[in-house]
Amino acid sequence: MPKRRDVEEQRARLSAAVWSVLARDGLSGLTLRAVAARAGCTTGLVLHAFRDKRALLRHARELLHERTGRRADAAQEAAREPLDALRAVALQALSLTAEGREEARVWVGFLAAAVSDEELRELHVRHNRAFVQRVEQLLAAARPDLPRAARTHHAVGLVALVEGFNTLAAADPQTYSPHRQRAAVDRLVDSLRA
């Protein structure tokens, strides 16, 4: 019987391989064979952890949610004022770095699969709504004078701006450069100041 630590190390290695293949090769390149090759193992070992491509995608999306959630928590906690926290949370979600661009490619791959798969779509909707809710809570702290409907409107707009940049920058990072992404978030957050 394998030791728990060995199983956890194996799972971590497979997770890194799933992430790497999806970021590098996109949805069409995400296969059990490609993950096995990247992880340096057999497809049987991959199948032991992930029964099919959907399971690979679901796992990649959960990893993305965990990574961005930890970063958003840290950004929010480091900010002194609610609007600064809002800005920091939005900026950390953008594809401003090599890591951010890789995450954006993973996110786009997952989104493409979610369009035609109910289970993956539900997972996407749940995580996306959690992001909207976080932004809405930050807006409530920053602008308690705004009616709830207005906060929801602004939260959805900011999340759409961030995710739109990520989607477009995944294919065209020159046009949707980090500078333009930051400037757009700054303008939107500045427009929310009382």
pLDDT digits (tens, 9 = 90+) for 58-69: 887 888 889 889
Topology of domain 53-191, CATH: Tetracycline Repressor; domain 2 (1.10.357)
Q: Where are the domains of the chain?
A: 1-51, 53-191
Residue 130 near residue 62 (C-beta atoms within 8 A):
no
Q: Which CATH architecture has domain 1-51?
A: Orthogonal Bundle (1.10)
> For residue 81, what pLDDT band results from cuts at 50, 70 and 90?
very high
Residue 85 near residue 134 (C-beta atoms within 8 A):
no
pLDDT digits (tens, 9 = 90+) for 136-146: 999 999 999 99
Q: What is the overall mean pLDDT for the chain?
A: 91
**Hey, do 1-51 and 53-191 end up sharing a CATH topology, with the first three levels equal?**
no
Work out whether the CA dihedral 75, 149, 107, 105 comes out positive or negative. negative
35-52 average pLDDT score:
91
Query: Could you give the C-alpha distances from 99 to 18, 23, 62, in angstroms and in order?
Result: 15, 10, 16
Residue 3 reports pLDDT greater than 70: no
Percent of the chain exceeding pLDDT 90 equals: 61
Both ends of the chain: CA-CA distance in Å? Answer: 62
